[in-house]
Structure 1
Amino acid sequence: MKAMIVRECGPLENLKLEEVPDPLAEPGKVVIDIKACGVNFADSLMVGGTYQVKPPLPFSPGLEVAGYIAEVGPGVEGWQVGDRVQALTNWGGFAEKVAVPAEVLIRIPENMSFEDAASFVVAYGTSHVALDYRARLKAGEWLVVTGAGGGVGLTAVEIGHLMGARVIALAGDDEKLAVARSKGAEFTVNYKHEDVRDRVKEITEGAGANVVYDAVGGDIFRACFRAMAPEGRMMIIGFASGDVPQVPANHLLVKNIELIGFYWGAYKEFKHQVLLDSATDLFRWYAEGKIKPHISKTFPLEQAVEAIRSLKERKSSGKVVVTM
């Protein structure tokens, strides 16, 4: 089979198309004939060797796939060849096939495309678990989403709106903000041209943000932190700006602010049921037509480097997908 392989961590150019042996359907596992793989910021970090999960070399990045079951290993029950599935792989998704434990499989709704399925679980799961389980977002609260045009930020806008929050979307591009409005943002702020703190205060009539969902960090984090309401919850999702902000602990006391770190992948290790419960809700919402991934670009497997670069350099809105 063909796969994009990293033999030495470093720049994205180290990711190259190779011919490698097909995976085996070992006991308890199935082999998926991959049709689409979602691209995530973690893929670029994994290629560079800076992600918290470090696969053994050589490896293929790609952590969320969708396709058909091609083989079923011994001891697997409830699944058969030809079933349409989605799976989280940790790595190995930028390939024509991958073997995964049967327990990580999720059956795809009949009305869901493979591209949508491969764009779904990580981005929507991150926002849903963060906003519902960790931030305890309530209907009517003010929710500020930074990086609102990105793959994860856009799902936070959509889910926040679905949960009844009043969403303020922040981005540095008017086209991305237009997409955020189409997903339910009530207000938008272009932080390249507007003062974030002043605009959030103005929009909320001085009340401030009840929840901030920040995947950017840096100066945007600092501005949002200064625009929070009493008992506000600040969600730290990531640092797309490359600037990890430092927060003086005494500032948390002034308004009784909660600072909440969130890494969705950690729940796979210590509280997997949280992810399963979330996935059940999300796939139901999709089947009901309440949510749908915004896929701005698709790339063939051999152009996976360009796909990752498009995401890393913020040249895309919503999700980027590699197709086989």
Structure 2
Amino acid sequence: MTDTTGTLDEALARLHASGPERGGWLSNHAPMAVEALVRHGQAATVHRWLDHYADKLEELPPACAPVTADGWREALGDPARITDWTRFFARELAERPWRAVLAAWWPRLLPGIAAGATHPVIRTGHAVRTLLASPEGATDPRLAELAHALGYWAARHQPLPPLAPLAAAPTAAAALDAVPLVPERGGGIRHRLAQLTAFPVWGAAPDPEAARARLAELVAAATHRYATHGHGEPTMLVHAATAPNAVLRALPALPRELWAPSLSAAWAASAAVTAAYAPAEPAPYAEAPGTTPEEVFERAAAHGDDHTIKFTDTALDVGGPLALAAAVRSVELNAPVFR
């Protein structure tokens, strides 16, 4: 849905005085959530939502030293350089078309897709979707949002450990079912990701169109799986679906030769989140017969939780009864913001 209200640009401009994190590592979800709200016809709720979210925002951290085109490698993966990276991408986007900047940096950032618990790539996917859906052109707040997203990704860039191949799986759903769970379930995501050793082989694509189709299959499988496994960790497990969907949203803006490596990275991200947080056993879920996508998103917006809003947005991309049931499950499992 095209934003004819101006609300999204207002909200993004309001948010760009804030950093991408709070408390040292927790992600700022507001830019992603407000983009989803506006896209699904909930623009009237955005500023009220932001008022509730305001106490979770922190100022941008201080700059250290400019990132340069020749010396960027030494700053990659340094969270102290978040503001330096954001300013670097702002300069890049002022000098070149945004698609050219994205195409140049996507393959550099893609190996670190696990950065920030996958939030930077998710934020990038929302930013790219907005730019692709902007018939009025790339407005300053929307370009700035892409700079913030890419800067966050570069600063938190985190490759996964080396992974051995396990037996090949025939489908994305079977591959997710076969992902070995990490043995130590305590601690944060970085501790859990450090325990990864092997993933099932899945997702080889002979051409770009096959890569796109398999990426869509992965998003659907991870979304559906939340209905039965989301109880394992209701907040973190949404990223098994929203991270690959962010990649899927970016594909139309990328050169086709990047689609297959994008699928591989998206599979690694989804499998990593699954390994880190999925429960050993599924749980029953209730279907939502007769419920429309619009009604489900309205329920998510009224619930107010940022992860629930973003997951429901992905579920609506997938479509179908099981995806809607998974979205309803996220509403049930996550704590509401508005009571």
Same fold (TM over 0.5): no
Determine which structure has more spread, i.e. the larger CA radius of gyration.
Answer: 1
Q: Which has the higher strand share?
A: 1
